[in-house]
Homo-oligomer: A and B are copies of this chain.
């Protein structure tokens, strides 16, 4: 059996009780830290917290040589840990498909997602978000300015009045995390006067939620990673109230009642 467990967003307490039980009962525990990782707990912290050894696999160790994981799941109960929920990255779906190909039963123990946290913390309603997009570091894509994947998503969502969650690039292997102010400075070329909401350390005990024009957000700073940015679409009055109350949104950027 191969059980995929989502660790949630921040530290060793972000996991569900079901996930912790799966780790405790496992014969072998693996993790990947290249698509995302916890910022509030190291792998050592997780090992001592759960009283297990964790075999951290790099990208090649999951995508090219998954055999040790699949062998462990054939011989006994193996757990595969990822930050957030599992299956967010296609690499996890691929591993699950390989397991199924070998006749290994799989199971998923869900974790809290950044999407859920961004909606809850900002007060922007979940069902009013369009698809999310990811803003890459400028050195990670070929074109000057913003990639079309970002502007198309933001613009198409805005046309429908929908909010856009912008994931900020993570190079977890190099400990590089794009900050919300950096993201806002990149987005300012297209969206300088638009309302944006920076969300820092979602899922931690001290999240920061700050609403301002994209231009103004670019000049602020929000502390330790991970950061997210939301570009709201049309705002319902309770959403506007929440942004004013919990994110100090300037009145002139909110719809007048």
A14: chain B residues at CB < 8 Å are 16-18
- Mask, A115-135, CB within 8 Å of B = 1, is 111011101011111111110
Q: Mark A79-90, 1 if CB is under 8 A from B, else 0.
A: 000000111101
Q: Measuring CB to CB, which residues of chain A are less than 8 angstroms from any residue of chain B? A: 4, 6, 8-9, 12-18, 20-21, 85-88, 90, 93-94, 96-97, 100, 107-108, 110-113, 115-117, 119-121, 123, 125-134, 156, 160, 162, 202-203, 205, 207, 238, 241-242, 245-246
A64 to chain B, nearest CB (A): 17
19 contacts between A and B (CB under 8 A): A6-B116, A6-B120, A12-B17, A13-B16, A14-B17, A15-B16, A85-B112, A90-B238, A96-B246, A97-B241, A108-B120, A111-B116, A112-B112, A113-B113, A115-B115, A127-B131, A127-B133, A130-B131, A156-B160
When distances are taken between beta carbons in the complex, the residues of chain B under 8 Å from A113 are 112-113, 115-116, 126
B21 A120 Cβ-Cβ under 8 A: no
- Give min CB distance, A117 to chain B, whole Å: 5
Q: Which of B16, B202, B207 contacts A112 (CB 8 A)?
A: B16
A203: B residues at CB distance < 8 A? 110
Whether B9 contacts A110 by the Cβ 8 Å rule is: yes
Interchain CB contact (< 8 A) of A87 among B85, B119, B205: B119
Q: Are A130 and B127 within 8 A (Cβ)?
A: no
